[in-house]
Amino acid sequence: MTTRAGFVALIGEPNAGKSTLLNRMVGAKVSIVTHKVQTTRARIRGVAIEGDAQIVFVDTPGIFKPKRRLDRAMVTAAWGGAADADVVVLLVEAHRGVTEGVEAILAALDEHSNPKQKIALAINKIDMVDVEKLLGITKELNERRDFAETFMISAEKGRGVEDLRKWLAKELPEGPWLYPEDQIADLPMRMIAAEITREKLTLNLHQELPYQLTVETEKWEERDDGSARVDQIVYVSRDGHKGIILGKRGETIKRISRASREELSEFLGRKIHLFLQVKVRPNWLEEAERYGEMGLDFKDGN
């Protein structure tokens, strides 16, 4: 039997639905999702199997005009994901069409890919537009670039996803599978746990605050009764931010902690005791160690 295997990078503007698509392809929540932009910060791999092919999907941070060091490191990580992949899928939101951000990505695509790679277009969130609008956008995008293939999908509702997966499977090179067949992700557990907490923080905090914090799993202690104690630190840069995260009588952090613990316990199928600590660290956005913990390269932020 000939098997196939390779990497498929999902790229696009922030909020395009890349992580939602990765999770759907894998059939499990491997990458966090929120309604806010710039949720994903590093490359996250998720593995799907389609017939004889093992498809390693690479979720990437959204590509946007970076301002801070962290932004630059994220965007570099995203383009790096594209450059290393066998196939690249560009996600564009159906209801937003060809935005300035999409234009910028199209303009930079050749520089960050090679002629041997196939680049497909996936117009996502088709559940939000009518057919006429969808056809208009499809035409406009295909006039700008000669994509290997165009797919119209709803990552959230699952429409069109099957066709995309089948096509990707046959585009991958022949070769042995890259991961054991029961493996769906390769992110260390402590990092998945930190990401789950960061998702809950992002969902519970307003405006800029989610962009000013990072979460790290400090300690992971297995207990005899099969449960685990997980200690995490939320780094913020200002006292005021700490106060907001704690909330009145600690209510906000309690809510966040509960939501994170529940999801983590469900993900692992066992009891988790989660302890969150908020630390003010004014300069964390300029510390190499923080980037390493996020799965980013500090130098990429230069």
Ligand X SMILES: Nc1nc2c(ncn2[C@@H]2O[C@H](COP(=O)(O)OP(=O)(O)OP(=O)(O)O)[C@@H](O)[C@H]2O)c(=O)[nH]1
Residue 279 makes CB contacts below 8 A (sequence gap 6+) with 233, 234, 235, 236, 242
Starting at the edge strand found earlier in the chain, the sheet holding 213-222 runs 213-222, 228-236, 272-280
Closest CA to 154 of 68, 235, 95: 95
Beta strands 53-59; 44-50: pairing state: antiparallel
Residue 214, marked binder: no
Would you report the helix, strand and coil content of the chain in percent, each value rounded to 5?
40, 25, 35
Query: Could you say which of 23, 40, 54, 113 contacts Mg ion (CB under 5 A)?
Result: 40
Query: Could you say which of 11, 16, 168, 196 contacts ligand X (CB under 6 A)?
Result: 16
54: contact with Mg ion by CB under 5 A: no
Query: Could you say which of 4, 9, 16, 19 contacts Mg ion (CB under 5 A)?
Result: 19
State how far the Cα of 64 lies from the Cα of 212, in Å rounded to an integer: 17
Stretch that binds Mg ion, among 40-48, 114-122, 208-216, 294-302 (CB under 5 A): 40-48
61: contact with ligand X by CB under 6 A: yes
- How would you classify residue 199: left for phi > 0, otherwise alpha for psi between -120 and 50, otherwise beta? alpha
State how far the Cα of 88 lies from the Cα of 147, in Å rounded to an integer: 10
Query: Could you say which of 45, 125, 198, 290 contacts ligand X (CB under 6 A)?
Result: 125
Stretch that binds ligand X, among 96-104, 119-127, 218-226, 253-261 (CB under 6 A): 119-127
**CB–CB of 234/278 below 8 Å?**
yes
- Smallest distance, Å, CB 217 to Mg ion? 20
Q: What is the DSSP letter of 67?
A: -
Cβ proximity to ligand X, 14 vs 80, nearer residue: 14
Cβ proximity to ligand X, 138 vs 154, nearer residue: 154
- Smallest distance, Å, CB 81 to ligand X? 12
Query: Could you say which of 6, 11, 20, 213 contacts ligand X (CB under 6 A)?
Result: 20
39: contact with Mg ion by CB under 5 A: yes
State how far the Cα of 232 lies from the Cα of 46, in Å rounded to an integer: 24
State how far the Cα of 175 lies from the Cα of 156, in Å rounded to an integer: 31
Stretch that binds Mg ion, among 16-24, 127-135, 197-205, 222-230 (CB under 5 A): 16-24
- Smallest distance, Å, CB 93 to ligand X? 8
Annotated binding site for GTP: 12-19, 59-63, 124-127
Please report, as ranges, the residues that interact with ligand X according to CB under 6 A.
12, 14-20, 33-35, 37-40, 61-62, 124-125, 127-128, 154-157
Please report, as ranges, the residues that interact with Mg ion according to CB under 5 A.
19, 39-40
